[in-house]
Structure 1
Amino acid sequence: MADPVPTSRRPERLLARRSWPEARFLADVLRTETVGGGLLLLGAVIALIWANSPWRAAYAALSDWVPWPGGAPLHLDLDLATWAADGLLAIFFFVVGLELKREFVAGDLRDPRRAALPVVAALGGMALPALCYVAVALAAGGAGLRGWAIPTATDIAFALAVLAVVSSHLPQGLRAFLLTLAVVDDLFAIIIIAVFYTADFHVLPLLGALVPIAVFALLVRRRPTWWWALLPLAGLAWGLVHASGVHATVAGVLLGFTVPVLAGRGGGPGAAGDDGPGTAGPGLAERLEHRWRPVSAGLAVPVFAFFAAGVSLVDVDLASVLTDPVVLGVVAGLVLGKTIGVFGSTFLLARFTRAELDEDITWADLFGLALLAGIGFTVSLLIGELAFGAGSPEDDRVKAAVLLGSMVSAALASGVLLRRNRVYRRITERESRDSDGDGVPDVYQEESA
């Protein structure tokens, strides 16, 4: 009998099946994001129809309405569209912060070998779209260069909504990879927004924001049931970050990072001692993520989409729009850059390491997923507003370009993944068998045996 291959010499399986607890957690996340993606699409469609209807002036008036005109001294004299982008999206980024910390502390990103693939794929999937955009802008004399980061972000809710329609039996490894890729993608997008799209920076309000964030961190570790104190602290931190000139959604990420992931030795949720050895059980981060993700996916992102996607095409020369360098750069970045970046970086990682694709997954599957990563919406529209100013002619063209690029990516990905759907269905039926009725699929018991 041949000696078993040492663990250190076994090839790393890319996109391999995750553990059963992780698979259950991901299934809950995927269900919520898929529903949220449907609501996002609904909000965008309603906005497009209204903005191009005879009642488009009412849509513009609603977007421009300022509910608190007296908030100028606190920089809060914002219209509804800005409240949606700066306020509601802070909830979205709070959930992103919770998700990022969970992935780095208790998820697959804590393992450098597992983290390498989504990190490399996310970097490639952001660098290539940016290069595509810059190349188009330079060819046009440098017009619109400030929007280089617009096509770098993948919208996970939008992508999962498309995925649920065209291929609901996609292998878990690919679905989990798309989710983790989008999480890492969001992390880099947050850094880009904070570093490159911060105007009129004021250091004192930003330093002041550290105080409520620190108190928030203390309370979630000591007394997580004090929700009535957490909400005002979060609001104060948001207001100070907004006043500093840094985009206010960064406050949501920072607050999410403060929440403990694992329960302490005493078993209390969020007990001090957070994430060290000896801790056990889910902590407050997972509970808050479970509570706030539906608010983010079901309210914050769809409302933002409603106000952000309402681009009017009435009396617009479509030929000039389709030849505009900003539009061409965004579409090229989303459709070509994302696909080449995600697929190419993954292929190179496998080519120059001992890593291999999981046995149930082919390169054609990964190519379809790379096309799906070209669906950009929430963060892309947000960066467009930050780059060119909300309501500017360039911003309207960014909206049209993001919608066009996302639809092309979705259509191409659907064509690739639909061909594999029948195979995925057979694989899923085999893996979901639970012959002993203990609630755990046999495939997970076989792997742990």
Structure 2
Amino acid sequence: MATPSPTDNQSRKLLGRLSLPERRFVADALRAETVGGVVLLVAAVTALIWANTPGLAESYLKVRDFHIGPESLGLNLSIQHWAADGLLAIFFFVAGIELKRELVAGDLRDPKAAALPVIAAICGMAAPAAVYVLVNQLGGGSMDGWAVPTATDIAFALAVLAVIGTSLPSALRAFLLTLAVVDDLFAIMIIAVFFTNEIDFLALGGALVGLALFWFMLRRGVRGWYIYVPLALVIWGLMYNSGVHATIAGVAMGLMLRCTRRDNEEYSPGEHIEHLVRPVSAGLAVPLFALFSAGVLLSDEAIAQVFSRPETLGVVLGLVVGKTVGIFAGTWLAARFTKAELNEDLAWPDVLAVASLAGIGFTVSLLIGELAFKGDLVLTDEIKAAVLLGSLIAAICACVLLKLRDRTYKALTADEDRDEDLDGIPDIYEENNPAYHLRMAKIYEEKAAEHRRRAEAAAGSGTGPSRPASSD
């Protein structure tokens, strides 16, 4: 299989047709994300039920706050802490591989193709932060949570798509996926820069030495999980004790993997490892994080508090309004100043629907909420409730917008998947191939001949249409 190439931009189309290798990669990636998103959705609902059911709420708190781990290594952490700092490192490891692949073999490889998702992602993070700051400036709230509504949860967004059964065309799905990858990159930078307080330079130096050794062994072609897994755990532990958020270690290791294919390679090492680790991330790490982070009290008073406190209101409006306006405006600006035209099969309401879908901020938003208000447990829970409610409202808005265009999406998707010559390549990619037209002519000729044979057989048996009587 050839190495995936960036989308062809000669047509200067926004959200135009993907190259065939890129389309296949996006389909596989989104299929895995969708399954993980459904598991994530189940975990979040379980957490809410567990934490809000009388008689069970106390057990939820006991399990969540139970401490385990070696104190001598500075790793005697609560279950919730292990999920946030430990398991999410696996999630960010996969995110690092995805980002590396996009940079060296995907759409972000080509500056022209990268412009759209990068501009949209930057605007889609700046606008929610601006909305939060404005609300808290006017309401006299804390500015510490400005980064909470900036993140998009691609798995949760795709879970919503899976639940409502909407079939998005591949161009819109690829846009959503690439947007989320760029969004993850900036979220990682925000966590590293703004949520690192005191740094233990000795531990940080040890983590950097470990990362250098990790990189060196990769370049030397050293193989064996029994070498890399222990080294990764040591790097993670040192990074955690350095004061830099431990998930950064996962991202760094993911970015070091080679994601381009060499001769006679079906998959690059990065793609192979991602294929192995993604089920652990999507099926275990992220759902467990959701289970121990999403369990917040949702009483009438708590919900009312979400819409009355400036911090929580800023999060809700940032996700619902800021994300939608930011991504839509960023996409329009990219179209306006690059003189590119929107794909003729799509319309600007489609971009608006995807922009509202990106307002579902869950995993990273919950993590940033915990980091931003670490010293205030009550406000942390209220921020989490705001993330949940904001994501729910964004999901409902997106569902309404997507359903309005559902018939159009189904027609586009059916046309993209049509393969009448059964050669495994969608016909839309073979329109200019003479061999394809010869095959199709032969297929149509065989179908016509089969139809004639069946008509003659039916007529001979007397079951077919009546014929005029013979003149004999």
Please indicate, yes or no, whether the TM-score normalized by the shorter chain is above 0.5. Answer: yes
Name the counterpart of 1:51. 51
Name the counterpart of 1:173. 171
Q: For residue 157 of structure 1, what is the amino acid of its counterpart?
A: A
Using the alignment, how far apart are the partners of 2:421 and 2:300 within structure 1?
Answer: 65
Name the counterpart of 1:342. 327
Name the counterpart of 1:398. 383
Q: Is 1:434–2:434 an aligned residue pair?
A: no
Alignment of structure 1 residues 6-405 onto 2, 5 Å:
12-54=12-54, 55-68=56-69, 71-141=70-140, 143-264=141-262, 267=264, 282-314=267-299, 316-389=301-374, 392-405=377-390
User: How big is the shift at 1:436?
Assistant: 2.0
User: How big is the shift at 1:326?
Assistant: 1.1
Q: Is the 8 A contact 1:167 1:418 kept in 2?
A: no
Using the alignment, how far apart are the partners of 2:290 and 2:80 within structure 1?
Answer: 10
SS across alignment from 2:258: coil
Aligned CA distance change for structure 1 residues 390 and 438 (closer, same or farther; 3 Å): farther
Aligned CA distance change for structure 1 residues 41 and 10 (closer, same or farther; 3 Å): closer
Aligned CA distance change for structure 1 residues 391 and 51 (closer, same or farther; 3 Å): farther
| Higher mean C-alpha deviation, range 212-221 or range 295-304 | 212-221
Q: State the TM-score, normalized to the length of structure 1.
A: 0.91
Using the alignment, how far apart are the partners of 2:410 and 2:261 within structure 1?
Answer: 38
Q: Is the 8 A contact 1:221 1:259 kept in 2?
A: no
Using the alignment, how far apart are the partners of 1:394 and 1:448 within structure 2?
Answer: 61
Using the alignment, how far apart are the partners of 1:257 and 1:353 within structure 2?
Answer: 30
| Greater Rg by CA | 2
User: How big is the shift at 1:45?
Assistant: 0.7
User: Where in structure 2 are there 5+ consecutive unaligned residues?
Assistant: 1-7, 435-472
User: How big is the shift at 1:22?
Assistant: 1.4
SS across alignment from 2:144: helix
User: How big is the shift at 1:169?
Assistant: 1.9
Using the alignment, how far apart are the partners of 1:213 and 1:199 within structure 2?
Answer: 22
User: How big is the shift at 1:353?
Assistant: 2.2
- RMSD over aligned Cα atoms: 1.8
SS across alignment from 1:146: coil
Q: Deviations over 1:145-189 (max 9, x none)?
A: 111000000000000111223353211000000000000000000
Q: Deviations over 1:351-388 (max 9, x none)?
A: 22211111221101110000001000000000000000
Using the alignment, how far apart are the partners of 2:279 and 2:103 within structure 1?
Answer: 22
Q: For residue 330 of structure 1, what is the amino acid of its counterpart?
A: V
Q: Is the 8 A contact 2:9 2:112 kept in 1?
A: no
Aligned CA distance change for structure 1 residues 121 and 189 (closer, same or farther; 3 Å): same
Q: Is the 8 A contact 2:161 2:167 kept in 1?
A: no
Q: Is the 8 A contact 2:166 2:403 kept in 1?
A: no
Q: How many residues align?
A: 426
User: How big is the shift at 1:19?
Assistant: 1.3
